[in-house]
Amino acid sequence: MSGDLIQRRGLMLVLSSPSGAGKTSISKKLLALEDNLTLSISATTRKRRPGEVDGSDYHFTDQTSFEIQINQGAFLEYAKVFDHYYGTPRAFVEDKLSNGQDVLFDIDWQGTQQLNELMPEDLVKVFILPPSVSELEKRLLNRAQDSADVVAGRMAKAADEMSHYPEYDYIIVNRDLEESVAAVQKILHSERLKRTRQIGLSDFVKQLRNSD
């Protein structure tokens, strides 16, 4: 066995933030840069926005199907956000983690709390803050995918969402996209080296010690 083949369990990298803090842009860049990282695609009952692709941005579904899946235990976690259901499909995540693949989650604080109860050892929790309220508002308006009412509602909720930052391990203030992506990469690379994730370590060290 060589050192770079040490077996490792995948980790769960959670990115949370108020809407408009830049989390989706950070996720997309990160996924393009990191081979061993896959996005957990959530199911949701909210309407598809222009440009969003079913099965790629979300699994878009209706309330009845979502509730059936809740009863079947198909979600690792689920929550109501802005009056719509959002949930993380369980089977996909469990499969990736057991194959040593890391999984990225774009979920809110409610989902993070649930995952924290279920799998605290696997979880790495990162919270993204906007650099200022005016910047947050600007980003929400620029996105122009939601109606003015929806934007106002999201601004009102942002303060509440941000109050959950102490529940996270790492905080990134998103002043610059490239810098924020680099910061998340550093976190990911360090967390991969944690002793407890490297489940093949004891065999590897045993072999190192026996080889002289």
Residues near ligand 5GP (CB under 6 A) are 19, 42, 46, 77, 79, 81, 86-88, 106-108, 110-111
Considering the complex, what minimum distance in angstroms separates the CB of residue 137 from ligand 5GP?
A: 15
CB of 86 to ligand 5GP, least distance (A): 3
Q: What is the DSSP secondary-structure string of the chain?
A: --GGG------EEEEE--TTSSHHHHHHHHHHH-TTEEEPPPEE-SPPPTT--BTTTBEE--HHHHHHHHHTT-EEEEEEETTEEEEEEHHHHHHHHHTT-EEEEE--HHHHHHHHHH-GGGEEEEEEE-S-HHHHHHHHHHH--S-HHHHHHHHHHHHHHHTTGGGSSEEEE-S-HHHHHHHHHHHHHHHHT-GGG-TTHHHHHHHHHHT-
Nearer to ligand 5GP by C-beta: 107 or 151?
A: 107
Q: Which of 1/150 has CB closer to ligand 5GP?
A: 150
- Compute the least distance from the CB of residue 189 to ligand 5GP, in Å: 23
| Closest residue to ligand 5GP in the complex (CB) | 111
CB nearer to ligand 5GP: give 142 or 210. Answer: 142
Complex with ligand 5GP: residue 108 or 191, whichever CB lies closer? 108
Task: In angstroms, give the least distance from the CB of 178 to ligand 5GP.
Answer: 22
